Structure 1
Amino acid sequence: MIILLRWILLPFTLIYHSIIWLRNLLYDKKILKSKSFKTPIIVIGNLAIGGTGKSPLTEYLIRLLKDKYKIATLSRGYGRKTKGFRYVDLNSTALEVGDEPLQFKSKFPEITVAIQEDRCAGIEQLQDDHEVIILDDAYQHRKLNPGFSILLFDFNSLMKPILTLPTGDFRDVFSSTKRADLIIITKCPEHITSKQKEHIEHLIRKYNTAPIFYTKIAYDTPLDPQGEYLKDKLENKEIVLFCGIANPKPLVEYLINKGNTVKLVKFSDHYNFKTTDFDRIKTEFDALSSSNKIILTTEKDMQRTDTSYFNNYPLYYIPIHLQSADHQQITFDHFIENYISQNLN
C-alpha cells in the first residue's frame, strides 16, 4: 500500500526533482553564492534519506587525524531543542545538542565538537583555533564550498530505481554526485559480485570519476552504560532491541544471524524517548520467557536514553564502525591526509 501511494505521488516527485535541480544549477552557475575557507574543510554527506554510515565515517576521520592536527567537528545538531552555535561538552544533553554530536564528544573528549545550523557561520567561529574542520551531513549545504567532499551511498539504495522524494528515497538529484572528491559505498554485502560493482560504477561514472571505496558495517561487543563489556557472547539470547534510527534492518539481521531472537521496538529517527517508552521496553523485556535475555540499543540511541530508568535491567548498546570491503583503507587515508597537507595555512 505504501509503495503504491509513493508511485501515485510521482507528479510531486517530478516537481521536487525540478526544484532541487534548479537550486543546484543556480549554485553551479554562481548565481547563488557559496563561501570558501582557507582552513581545510571536509564535508561528509549523502543524497538519499536514511542512515548511510556518516557518523561511523566521522569517527573514523577523527581517529585518523586527532593526534596530528587540532580538529573540530561541526554538525547541525539534528533533534535538539536549541538554536544557533553551541559547543558540546560532556555535561550536554541530546535535547541541547543532538545525539550524534554528543556521541562524538563522549568518545573523543579531547577534540572540539560544535553545532550550528548555518555551517558557514559555524566555521567562522571555529577556523581561527583549528587546523581541520569535519562537517557531518553537510553535502546539501550549498552555501558552503568545502575543500573536500566525501559522498556516501547505501549499497541497497543503488540497487533500486533512483528517484527523488516522495516516490523514491533521494533528497537530492543523482547528478549532484559530480561534486564529490571521494565516494564510499556503505553497508555492502559480505560478497559483492563483479556485476554489482559494474552496475554501481556505471551509475556513478556518468557524473564523476572520483575514487570509489566499498565498506561494510562491523558491530563491536555491546557495552553497558558504565562502559563494561557484555561478559558472554552475543548469541542465542532473547533481545529487546529498541531503536530510533533510520534503518534498523541491518542490525536486526546481524543479531538474528547469530542465533538470537529479537523483539524490535522501533521509533522514528532521532526520536526523543519518553518515560512511557521506557516502561514499554521494560514490559517487553519482562514478558520474555528466557533467563538469557538483554535489552539492546544503538550507540546513538543511548545518547537519548535516561539509563536511570533501567536500574537492575541488563541494558547494553552496540557500537559500530566502518570496515573496508575492498582492502583500500590505506589508499583512502592517503587521499585525506594529502588534501590536508596541501591546504594547511
Structure 2
Amino acid sequence: MQLLRKLGFPISLIYALVVYLRNYFYDKGLFSFKSFDTKTICVGNLSVGGTGKTPMIEFLVSHVKKHGKIAVLSRGYGRKSKGYVLAKPGIDVEELGDEPYQIYKKFPNAFVAVDADRQHGISILEETIGPDVILLDDAFQHRKVRCDQYVLLTSYDSLYVDDWYLPTGNLRDSKREARRANIIVVTKCPSNLSVAEQQRIRKKLIPGPSQKVIFSFLEYETKLKGNLGEMDLAELKNKKVTLVTGIANPQQLVSFLEAQGIVFEHLAYADHHFFTEKEIALFNNREIVLTTEKDYVRMEGRGENFYYIGVRHKFMNGGEEVLLNLLDESTTTP
C-alpha cells in the first residue's frame, strides 16, 4: 500500500492543482456559494479517515438542542438511496447511511436528513421543518454553502499540517483552508497529553488571531449494549471475544481493549462496510462479538451475541467550555 501511495505522487500533484484552482475560484467569487437564513454549523476535516466526526456531532446535538429545533444534514455515505431523505420511524440503515442512522437512533427528536447536495438539503429542511440550527456533517470541503461557524477536526497522530494530498497522503483539501475554521479540535489525543505538548501543537498549526485550538481524547464507555441487554466491559476478560470493525481507523479502540487486558481476535473491514449474510453467519458462531456503535447499526437484529462499545469526546483544559461558548454565540446572535 505504501508503495502504491508513492507511485501515486504525480497524481497527487494534479489533485493538489485541482484543489488549489477550485478554492481560488471560490475565493475570487468565480464559483458561487449560498448563505441561508438558518444558523448553520459545519463539522468536518481536511483529510479522509476517522477524526471522530460522529461523536462530535452527537456532542453538539446534545448541547445545541436547547436552542430549539435542530437538524443534522449529512451526505449519508454508503447509503443505497438517492437524493434527499429525511429520517422517520421505520427507516432502515441502508436508506439513511450508518452514521446518520446512528444519530437518529440516539436523538429521535432531532431532524436527521441526508443529501449529497447540501444546498438542496438545507433548502428542503428550511421549507418543511424550519429548524433553528442545522449541523452539517462532514461538509468542510463543500464550499457551495457558507456556514455561520466551522469546526475543523484533525487527529493527533495525523495532523493535517503533516499530511499530503491524495493518493500519496490523506488530504482531500488544502491545508490553507484551515483558515476558515472558527475552532480547530485536535482529536484522539492521549488522555495525559501535557500542556507543553498542547502548546507545541498549537504553534505547529499556526492558528489565526481569532481561531481557537482545543484538544480532546476519546473516552470509551465501560457498559456495553447489545441485543440481549447490557454487559460490563470487565466481563469480556472471561469470554472468547471477536472484535469486528468497519471504521476508518480502529487502532485506538484496539489499543484501549488491549490495555484493559481483554484478549480478542480482530476482524477488520473497510469503512462503512455493509455486512453480508455470510459474514453475519460467521459472527453468530462466535461467543461474543464486540463492535463499534457505527458498525452495530449495520448488524443490529441479525444476531444475539452482538455488543457495541460507545465512545465520546472528552475535552482538556477547559476546551469544552471554549467550544460551547462559541456555539452559543453562533446560535443566539441575530
TM-score bucket (shorter structure): over 0.9
1:42-121 to 2 correspondences below 5 Å: 42-121=41-120
Q: Report the Cα distance in structure 2 between the residues aligned to 1:158 and 1:8, rounded to whole angstroms.
A: 23
Match of 2:307 in 1: 316
Q: What's the secondary structure of 2:43's corresponding residue?
A: strand
CA drift at 1:159:
8.5
Is the contact made by 2:98 and 2:294 (CA closer than 8 Å) also made in structure 1?
yes
Cα distance in 1 for residues equivalent to 2:167 and 2:235: 38
% identical aligned pairs = 34
Alignment correspondent of 2:319: 328
SS of the aligned residue for 1:168 comes to coil
1:12 alignment counterpart: 11
Distance in 2, matches of 1:280 and 1:209, equals 52
Does 2:149 align with 1:148? yes
Q: Equivalents in 2 of 1:65, 1:14: separation in Å?
A: 40
Moved more, 294-303 or 189-198: 189-198
1:140-168 alpha-carbon deviations (Å, 9 max, x no partner) = 11111111110000111129832111111
Structure 1 residues 66 and 163: alpha-carbon distance in aligned structure 2, compared to 1, 3 A threshold = same
Aligned to 1:22: 21
TM-score normalised by length of structure 2: 0.93
Give 1:111 deviation, angstroms: 1.5
- Partner residue of 1:218? 219
Q: Which residue of 1 aligns with 2:237?
A: 236
How many Å apart are 1:235 and its aligned residue? 5.2
Amino acid at match of 1:303: V
Dislocated runs of 4+, deviation >6 Å: none
Shift in Å at residue 196 of structure 1? Answer: 3.5
Per-residue Cα deviation, 1:197-245 (whole angstroms, up to 9, x for no partner): 344223321667510110000111210136x321462552432011111
Going from structure 1 to structure 2, the CA distance change for 1:319 and 1:141 (only over 3 Å counts) comes to same
Task: Output the aligned Cα RMSD.
Answer: 1.8
Matches of 2:332 and 2:162 in 1, distance apart? 39
Structure-2 change in CA distance of 1:282 and 1:43 (3 Å): same
Q: Give the SS at the match of 1:307.
A: coil
3-state SS of 2:241 partner: strand
Amino acid at match of 2:204: L
* Cα distance in structure 2, aligned partners of 1:252 and 1:239: 12
Task: Give the letter for the 2:325 counterpart.
Answer: H
User: What is the match of residue 282 of structure 1?
Assistant: 284
Normalised TM-score (structure 1): 0.91
Is the contact between residue 33 and residue 143 of structure 1 (CA under 8 Å) also seen in structure 2?
yes
Q: Which amino acid aligns with 2:173?
A: D
Code of the aligned partner of 1:127: E
Unaligned runs of 5+ in 2: none
Name 2:162's counterpart in structure 1.
161
Provide the C-alpha distance between the structure 2 equivalents of 1:169 and 1:273, rounded to a whole number of angstroms. 26
Deviations 1:290-333 (A, max 9, x none): xxx5210111111111423x23xx32111111111223212211
- Partner amino acid, structure 1, of 2:290: L
Q: Give ranges in structure 1 of 5+ residues lacking alignment.
A: 286-292
